[in-house]
Amino acid sequence: MRNIKKVHKAEYRPMGDLETWSPLPSRNLQMIDPFIFLNHHGPQVYPPNNNGLPFGPHPHRGMETVTFILEGDIAHKDSDGNYSVIESGGVQWMTAGKGLIHAEVSSEKFKKEGGPLELLQLWVNLPKRLKMMAPSYRGVQEDRISTWKNKEETVKARVVSGNFKGIRGAFDTPTSVDLSIVEFEDSSKVELEIPKTDNIFFYVVRGELEVNEINVPELHLAEFSKNHEKLNISANDKSILLLGHAKPFEEKVVFGGPFVMNSEEEIRQAYEDYKAGKMGSWED
């Protein structure tokens, strides 16, 4: 079975009244190439007449954002003219590429009525050869996402990209990244095989899982070695897992706020291009 190097607890990083946990990057783990950032917002309940999410217009370049809506909704708008409101169970995938401006806020309905909210936003790096590709965006509601279930229907995977046990994901991506949200009933289990060449992203959103005989509680990220293909996962409680895997790019990564590039010079250029309007303009 594949060995686990370490289990990392997400750090609590609230944003105003938005509850936020972040396992990556942290003091002990910078990235799991090509997975570079995860914010777990909620779970929490918003009252009626709330202000919603605080993520107004901001730019990105050189990476992708994948947003999983577990509860509530999220309204996306960007400088390429894309707009959507994706509800509970749906996913948004934005490839920033050479750059664009976007906002992620709550719908007018959610701000008026309130309700439960829980979101995951994962940043996936782009390799150097694709960092300046044309931006793109797609939002998919839950009923458009294929699912895999075990025979007992105690384990269900919503397949977002790549494939999960032969089920193809809802998104075609510029790089080979497999992502799924896997839900476990109490005392359920599944066996997976993931290529030894791939890095694994294994974050327990809710509940508690045992993977290759190591317990991983909720709000924890497991860091794996590359010694074997096999993962045996069993649920000690009703649980939700964000599972990803991909071949690492093995390139230098430089962070500059919302930009992820390969050098400090490229970060400086990204800020200059943003200020010069080369990532589009914003109109409310």
How does pLDDT run across 220-249, given as a tens digit for each residue? 999 999 999 999 999 989 999 999 999 999
Contact assessment for residue 194 and residue 180, using Cβ atoms and an 8 Å cutoff: no
3-class DSSP assignment, residue 266: helix
Contact assessment for residue 62 and residue 131, using Cβ atoms and an 8 Å cutoff: yes
Average pLDDT in the 34-59 region? Answer: 97
4-275 has which fold? Jelly Rolls (2.60.120)
pLDDT reading at 284 higher than 90: no
pLDDT of residue 236: 85
3-class DSSP assignment, residue 110: helix
85 band by pLDDT with thresholds 50, 70 and 90: very high
pLDDT reading at 189 higher than 90: yes
Whole-angstrom distance, CA of residue 60 vs CA of residue 65: 9
| Chain mean pLDDT for the chain | 96
The two three-digit tokens of residue 14, written as one number: 């609230």
The two three-digit tokens of residue 58, written as one number: 């901001």
Q: Read off the pLDDT of residues 101-115 as tens digits, 9 standing for 90 and up.
A: 999 999 999 999 999
pLDDT of residue 283: 79
> Would the pTM count as exceeding 0.95?
yes
Q: Phi first, then psi: what are they for 169, rounded to 5°?
A: -75, 165
Task: Look up residue 174 and give its DSSP letter.
Answer: S
pLDDT of residue 78: 96
